[in-house]
Structure 1
Amino acid sequence: MLDIASDLHRWIQQRHDFAVATVVSVSGSAPRPPGAALAVNDEGTAVGSVSGGCVEGAVYELCKEAIGNGQPVLERFGYSDESAFAVGLTCGGTIEILVTPVRAGEPTRDAFAAFLTAVTKGETVALARTVSGSAELPLALPLVVRPDGTHEGSLGGQDQLTRRAAAEARAMLGVGRTGTVVVGGDGAHCPKPVNLLVESSAPPPRLLVFGAIDFAAALVRLGKFLGYHLTVCDARPVFATRARFPEADEIVIEWPHRYLETTEVDERTVLCVLTHDAKFDVPLLTLALKLPVAYVGAMGSRRTHEDRVARLREVGVPQDELDRLHSPIGLDLGARTPEETALSIAAEFVADRQGGTGRPLTGARVPIHRDVSVATAQLRESGTVYHAHRAPLRTPIPLDQIGR
């Protein structure tokens, strides 16, 4: 839907009723990905596409019906063996399409208006809609989710389910992904699982890797797999080459702190300092720890870490900023190879973003999936918070010793 957001936003401003048909899932040789959309307004004007022409006529009629009766519908289109002219995907694939009416005076319109306004302003925002319904939980219930986890809307008045849906949507928003996710199915609060279509309006989060070493090459590969936009920065041109980092989106030959002074970062940005060289680390970390980024980690032995912290204190970095530093970088996985080390680093910044403990799930008394905004409160109930970068794995840190 993002590719037609400006048209839909204009229809909202012009007070048109309309319906949006959005691709929920695809299989086989389908022409458009999840999130692709076709919309029709109350004057019969259509924008967008869901199939490149195969089923557009049928979807157009579904949209007109939805504008008239106000009822959302989930429709499946696939290849018809009986007739090449039947409604279906002649390319042989199958798509599911959710048709959502957006009419004046209905809550759906308010949610769409909020989402489309944010998109047209270039803000980071997600729209989640139910695509498996029931009498208690109708189709196409909208939920607008912001990067900080705040949300607008409700899934049928079910507060806990709404919070869980918002948390899942926020996780997808964090990596700029559009697709389906399942929430519920845990018995008491939602006996049946609920499928959500989440559309994320956000660029991929940035992962800035400082230090063009072998460990950096492995981290770049894993970071791309996780959906990050990868930048490798090193002042040494002999090491920072495209041949060594073919998966990187950007390779920057510059002193790290000078590059960080000029590039854009946000609350989703991850900074990994792998240089473990004081002439690079100290000016870089002095700046990095002041920035509103998601994660700052630095590689090195414990001795290197102690020396680094002492140098940072000498140049005036305060304790509250030092408390943000993940060093030595990564979780205790017993990693030795560059690939294993990259995994330990990625595991730590994912856990940090999602409020994870870094502990094995076996025997852990914490939810497997939880809202980041309540994760700390849940851990406080048990009297313990875990920070793998400050203590050996599974070692509890008393609450009165936590500095962050």
Structure 2
Amino acid sequence: MREILPALSRWYAQGSPFGLATVVAVSRSAPRDPGAAMAVGPGDEVVGSVSGGCVEGAVFELAREVLESGEARLETFGFSDEDAFAVGLTCGGEITVLVRRVSPGDDPAFGLLARSVAAGRPVTLATVTDGPARRGASLAVWPAGEPAPDDGVHGTLGTSGLDVAVSADAQGELAQGASELRHYGPHGERREDTVAVFLHSFAPPPRMLVFGAIDYAAAVARIGDFLGYRVTVCDARPVFATPQRFPAAVEVVAEWPHVYLAGTTTDERTVICVLTHDPKFDVPLLEEALRRPAAYIGAMGSRRTHEDRTARLREAGLSAGELARLRSPLGLDLGARTPDEVAVSVAAEIVALRWGGSGAPLTATAGAIHPPGTASR
């Protein structure tokens, strides 16, 4: 939903109700993960997608009905592979979509949630999808220490016990950056499953740290920004580390790479791309990077550069396990030549590593093309 929030925020600020459809569950080869969203606003304007185009027409009509009635709806789309074309979900998977009406009157918490997401602050939206609680009722939950109303919780799912149980679980989901369907009793009982609640976590965008302000860095920064990363480019040479050479959304830092990395925060979603291929920068930087949390650590260079760099890192005391985390030379073998093509190969490797992809052509693989996901940024 993050990508359509500007339109949703505009409609909400105008007081214009809109129908918001959110994928709350998937199975088999579903085209989108839980949290994917589509909305129908004033004048039948449509933003977003819940299936990559497969069932958008049906969801559009459903959203118009919900706007008219004000009653939230839960619908499942998709059958077997043999019947998928008949129902529109061509991948043969299955998605369950919650459609509800949103406006200041219907959902007083939505404006606060949208502002938090736009500012990059973590928040979870909990919404009742099924059961005796009111379908479409929502609760926004912020982690401790974040600026938020009502001690970090705004809205209600219907009962105080359910609010307390869901709020506690929402904190855990947010820490993991996960979105999923949970089940409770009407008053938050954890051993019952009469009330279904979708926890949609909006963690801050993951970071991409690019070291070495060369032409390849500009291309990698552009594609990192396109993929939703919060990108920082760092180089020790001020003449190269200038904002004018990079997209407007990219932070540019003039600092020795290992010094900057030692003073910044990384986590299990962080991507680190080392493009300097100069030992005086690479070795101390990678020594720091390989000893801290990160999803991906890649370094540019030839095979000879890689062998020399690995030997220097061993001399610096890095273990075999730490060195095994290094993707070098970085990127997939696409035959890339230009900086933009190299950036595509790097992005492809990052995506494949994140989701467990093989990097092989789909024509050479079998099985589901879109395995069910567990989270949505």
Identify if the C-alpha distance between structure 1 residues 320 and 31 changes in structure 2 by more than 3 Å, giving closer, same or farther: same
Aligned to 1:62: 70
Q: Does 1:153 align with 2:194?
A: no
Counterpart contact for 2:219–2:340, Cα < 8 Å: yes
Counterpart contact for 2:225–2:250, Cα < 8 Å: no
Identify if the C-alpha distance between structure 1 residues 355 and 372 changes in structure 2 by more than 3 Å, giving closer, same or farther: farther
After TM superposition, give the deviation of residue 369 of structure 1 in Å. 1.9
Q: How does 1:84-163 map to 2 (within 5 A)?
A: 106=133, 116-117=140-141, 119=143, 147=176, 151=180, 153=182
Q: C-alpha distance in 2, partners of 1:27/1:152? A: 26
Identify if the C-alpha distance between structure 1 residues 101 and 352 changes in structure 2 by more than 3 Å, giving closer, same or farther: closer
Q: C-alpha distance in 2, partners of 1:103/1:366? A: 32
Q: C-alpha distance in 1, partners of 2:347/2:42? A: 32
Aligned to 1:23: 20
Q: How does 1:257-272 map to 2 (within 5 A)?
A: 257-272=258-273
Aligned to 2:329: 328
Deviation track 1:207-257 (CA, whole Å, cap 9, x = no partner) reads: 110000000011111111111111000000011111211334211000001
Aligned to 2:208: 207
Identify if the C-alpha distance between structure 1 residues 371 and 202 changes in structure 2 by more than 3 Å, giving closer, same or farther: same
After TM superposition, give the deviation of residue 106 of structure 1 in Å. 4.4
After TM superposition, give the deviation of residue 112 of structure 1 in Å. 6.1
Deviation track 1:95-149 (CA, whole Å, cap 9, x = no partner) reads: xxxx96699974979x966xx4455666xxxxxxxxxxxxxxxxxxxx9756376
Counterpart contact for 2:206–2:230, Cα < 8 Å: yes
Counterpart contact for 2:18–2:40, Cα < 8 Å: no
Q: How does 1:191-270 map to 2 (within 5 A)?
A: 199-270=200-271
Identify if the C-alpha distance between structure 1 residues 337 and 150 changes in structure 2 by more than 3 Å, giving closer, same or farther: same
Q: Secondary structure at the match of 1:336?
A: coil
Runs of at least 5 residues in structure 1 that lack an aligned partner in the other structure? 3-19, 35-57, 67-71, 78-98, 123-142, 155-196, 374-404
Q: C-alpha distance in 1, partners of 2:19/2:283? A: 49
Q: Secondary structure at the match of 1:362?
A: helix
Q: C-alpha distance in 1, partners of 2:317/2:296? A: 21
Identify if the C-alpha distance between structure 1 residues 345 and 238 changes in structure 2 by more than 3 Å, giving closer, same or farther: same
Identify if the C-alpha distance between structure 1 residues 320 and 238 changes in structure 2 by more than 3 Å, giving closer, same or farther: same
After TM superposition, give the deviation of residue 30 of structure 1 in Å. 8.0
Q: C-alpha distance in 2, partners of 1:100/1:212? A: 44
Counterpart contact for 2:210–2:273, Cα < 8 Å: yes
Aligned to 2:353: 352
Q: How does 1:241-390 map to 2 (within 5 A)?
A: 241-371=242-372
* Root mean square deviation of aligned Cα: 4.3
Counterpart contact for 1:220–1:248, Cα < 8 Å: no
Counterpart contact for 1:217–1:244, Cα < 8 Å: yes
Counterpart contact for 1:220–1:247, Cα < 8 Å: no
Q: C-alpha distance in 1, partners of 2:144/2:218? A: 36
After TM superposition, give the deviation of residue 338 of structure 1 in Å. 0.2
Q: C-alpha distance in 1, partners of 2:348/2:286? A: 21
Question: Could you tell me which amino acid in structure 2 is paired with residue 276 of structure 1?
Answer: H
Runs of at least 5 residues in structure 2 that lack an aligned partner in the other structure? 3-16, 22-38, 49-65, 74-97, 104-125, 147-168, 184-197
Q: Considering only CA atoms, is the larger Rg found in Structure 1 or Structure 2?
A: 1
Identify if the C-alpha distance between structure 1 residues 298 and 100 changes in structure 2 by more than 3 Å, giving closer, same or farther: closer
Q: C-alpha distance in 2, partners of 1:198/1:357? A: 30
After TM superposition, give the deviation of residue 294 of structure 1 in Å. 0.7
Identify if the C-alpha distance between structure 1 residues 108 and 248 changes in structure 2 by more than 3 Å, giving closer, same or farther: same
Question: Could you tell me which amino acid in structure 1 is paired with residue 358 of structure 2?
Answer: T
**TM-score (normalizing by structure 1):** 0.51
Deviation track 1:274-301 (CA, whole Å, cap 9, x = no partner) reads: 0000000001101101111110000000
Q: C-alpha distance in 2, partners of 1:32/1:202? A: 25
Identify if the C-alpha distance between structure 1 residues 330 and 21 changes in structure 2 by more than 3 Å, giving closer, same or farther: same
Q: Secondary structure at the match of 2:70?
A: helix
Q: Secondary structure at the match of 1:230?
A: strand
Aligned to 2:28: none
After TM superposition, give the deviation of residue 264 of structure 1 in Å. 1.4
Identify if the C-alpha distance between structure 1 residues 341 and 104 changes in structure 2 by more than 3 Å, giving closer, same or farther: closer
Q: C-alpha distance in 1, partners of 2:67/2:323? A: 56
Aligned to 1:158: none
Q: Secondary structure at the match of 2:252?
A: strand
Q: Secondary structure at the match of 2:363?
A: coil
After TM superposition, give the deviation of residue 201 of structure 1 in Å. 1.3
Q: C-alpha distance in 2, partners of 1:300/1:283? A: 16
Q: C-alpha distance in 2, partners of 1:285/1:216? A: 17
User: Across the two proteins, how many residue pairs are aligned to each other?
Assistant: 244
After TM superposition, give the deviation of residue 363 of structure 1 in Å. 2.4
Q: Secondary structure at the match of 1:320?
A: helix
Percent identity, aligned pairs only, is: 51
Counterpart contact for 2:237–2:254, Cα < 8 Å: yes
